Chains A and B, each alone.
Chain A
Amino acid sequence: MGSTMEDKKIIDLFLKRDEKAISETSNKYGMYCKTIANNITRNEQDTQECVNDTYFKAWNSIPPQIPNILSAYLGRITRNLAISKYRYNNMAKRGGDDITLVFDELDECIPSYSTVEKEYEAGIAAKAISLFLENLDKESRMVFVRRYWYADSIIQLTKEFNMSESKVKSLLFRLRNKLKDYLEKEEIIL
C-alpha cells in the first residue's frame, strides 16, 4: 500500500496549482469518493465520472476555498455530483434501488405542517440538522450520517455497526421520527 500525503500538503499543492494535487487526492481519497458516488449512482461509469468531476471541481475551487476537512470537502462534492447524476438519470424512471429507498425514508422526516409562514434562509435547515445530530449519541449520529449522507445500504450498516438489520432499521425509524419532530419544532420548512 502506497503512502498517502497529509491533507494539508495536498491542499498546499492545490493552492500552488500543482497538478500533483489531483494524483495525491486520487491516491488518498479516490476510493472514498468512489464509494460515496457508487452508493448513490450504483453505476460504475457514473461513479467514475463523479469521481473525476470531483477532482476537477476541487481543482477549480481550491483556491479560493480552503477546506477545513479535505475528506468532507471532497465527499460533499462527490455526493452532490452523484445525486445530480442520479436525479438526471431518474427523471424519467424511478427504480426500486437503494438510494430511492433512502429518499423514501426521508419522506417521513418532512414536517407535516405547511401553514407556518417563514422564509427559508440558506443554511438554516442544514445547521438545524447538524445541531440535531450533535445532540444524538455518537452511534445514532453515525448510523444516521452513514445512511443519509453516505447513502450506505442497510446491510452495510449492520456490518459496520455490528447490529442486526432490524435494529438498524428501527434505529433509523426512530431517528427519522425524531428529526421530523425536531424540524417541526424548529419550524423548518422543507
Chain B
Amino acid sequence: MSRDRLFDEIGNIDDKIINESAKIGISKKEKETANKSNETNKKEDGEENVISFDGRADKTFRDIILVAASIIIILGIIFAIKNINNDKKIPADDIESTIAPTTKSDRKSQSNSPYITYYPINIINEYTSEISFANDLDNDGNEEKVNYRIKYTEPENSASEDNLVLEESIFKINDVDYYEFANSILNIEELVKGISVIEFDDSNLNKLIIIDSEHDDISSIVYSYDKSGLTYMFMSGKDFAQTEFDGTGKFAANYSTPYGNTDSDKFDFSYSDNKICFDNTYEENLEMMEDTIIPYKIYKGMEVKFFTSFLANNKTLSLKQEPNDTSTDISFEAREARIDKANGKGWYRITGIDGMSGWFYSENMIEYEEENMINTYIAPQDAASSEEYNEQFWYK
C-alpha cells in the first residue's frame, strides 16, 4: 500500500476538519453559514439523529432572526445618524471571496530574495568546459575556490540489451546548482506544461523572461551572454514568474499566478566582467536546494545548451546537452531512467527543486558514459551523427 492509499484516507477525515480549512472558493459569509449550518445540524442530530428539513422549525427560527435583525438595523440607523457628524463610518461587510489573495500586501511576509550563486563556465573546447566555484566554504568558513572540469564523451553505440533499467541511487548532490548555457532562444512556439519560456529578446542579450504557467513553485533564471564565447549562467531563486535583467544593477521579478494576479519585487545585484551576483543570503533556499537537482525542460523551438549537475562529493561532473528538440518536451537530468535500447525510446525521471519529480518520455534517448562517472547517464538527443550533434550543441 502506498501514498495513494494515504491520500485516500486523508480524504476521509472528519468533515469538521475539512470545513475548518475550507476557505478556498467560499466567501467568509458562506463559510460562516456553513459552520452555522453544521452547528444547527449537530444540535438536531443530538435530538433526533435525523436532520429535519420540513421548514416549520426553520420558520420560527427565521422569524426570530428577522425580528432581531430588524431591531439591529433600527439601532444601527439610530447609531449612524447619531454619529454622522463625527464622520464615523459603519464598516462594510466583508463578503468577498478569499480566493487567491495575491496582492503585494498578501505577499509581504514572503521571502523574496533569491538565492543565487554565480559560476563562470569556461568552454575550453567542444568536449571540455570548466566551472569555477568561488563560494564554496572550507572547514573554517573561508571561501574556497574550486575548479571543476566538465568532460563530455561522445555517445557510444547502444548495446542491444532490451529494457535496461538504470536505477540511480548513489547520487548525493549536496552542493548542486543548475547551469544553463543558453545563447539563442528564438521562436518559442509552444508553451509546455511547467516553466515556459515565452520571450527572449535576442537583440537585448541580457533579457530573458520566463513564465511559469502551471506551477506556483517557480524557479527562474537570469541569463547573461558574452559574445566572446565565455558564457555564464545563473540560477536564481524562486517565487517569481517573470524575471527581467536589464544589466543596470536591478533585477525585477514579476509574479504571476494561475489566477492571473501579478506582483513584483526588485532585487539588487552586482554586474561586472560579465558576471552577475545576487546576494547569496537566501539561506532558506539554500536549505531547499540541498540534495536537489534542479530540472529544466527543453521547449519546442528552443535552441539551448545546458550544463547540468555535477557530483560535488567526488568532484565528478556530468554534462548534458540538448538538441534543438522539436518533438518532445524533455528534461535533461535523468536520475533514473528506463530505456529500450533497441529503439532508443524510454522514460526518465527528473527530480527538481523542492523535490518535485516526474517521469518523462522521450523517443530519442541515448546512453553515454562519462569519464570517471560513477553512473551512466541517459540523455535524449535527436541528432543523426555525432558531428552534427556537436555542431548543434556547442556554442561557436
Contact = CB atoms under 8 A, between A and B. Distances in A.
- Tell whether A and B belong to one assembly: yes
Interface of A: 1, 4, 6-8, 11-12, 15, 28-36, 42, 66-73, 75-76, 79-80, 83, 87, 93-98, 100-107, 109-110, 123, 125-126, 129-130, 133-134, 138, 141-142, 145-146, 148-150, 152-156, 158-160, 162-166, 169, 189-190
Contacts of A11: 51, 53
B384 interface: no
A165 B115 CA distance: 13
B128 to A, nearest CB: 31
A102 B218 CA distance: 16
Name the residue among A36, A129, A152 with the largest chain B CB count within 10 angstroms.
A129
Contact of A69 (B13, B37, B331): B37
B55 A134 contact: no
Given A96-B357, A106-B10, 6 more contacts: A70-B34, A98-B217, A110-B6, A154-B354, A165-B284, A166-B285
Interface stretch (B78-86, B97-105, B366-374): B97-105
Interface residues of B, number: 81
Closest 5 pairs (CB-CB, A-B): A96-B358, A155-B216, A32-B25, A126-B12, A166-B284
A70 B45 CA distance: 15
Contacts of B41: 8, 68-69
A189 B1 contact: yes
Contacts of A153: 215-217
Contacts of B14: 130, 133-134
Given A71-B26, A103-B3, A164-B111, A98 B20 contact: no
Interface string B46-69: 000011010100100000000000
B160 interface: no
B33 A6 contact: yes
A80 B11 contact: yes
Nearest to A156: B216
B164 to A, nearest CB: 19
Contacts of B27: 1
A100 B358 contact: yes
Contact of B214 (A42, A75, A158, A169): A42
A76 B356 contact: no
A129 B12 CA distance: 9
Given A11-B53, A110-B6, A129-B10, A28 B30 contact: yes
7 contacts: A11-B51, A69-B18, A93-B361, A126-B10, A141-B17, A146-B21, A169-B288
A159 to B, nearest CB: 5
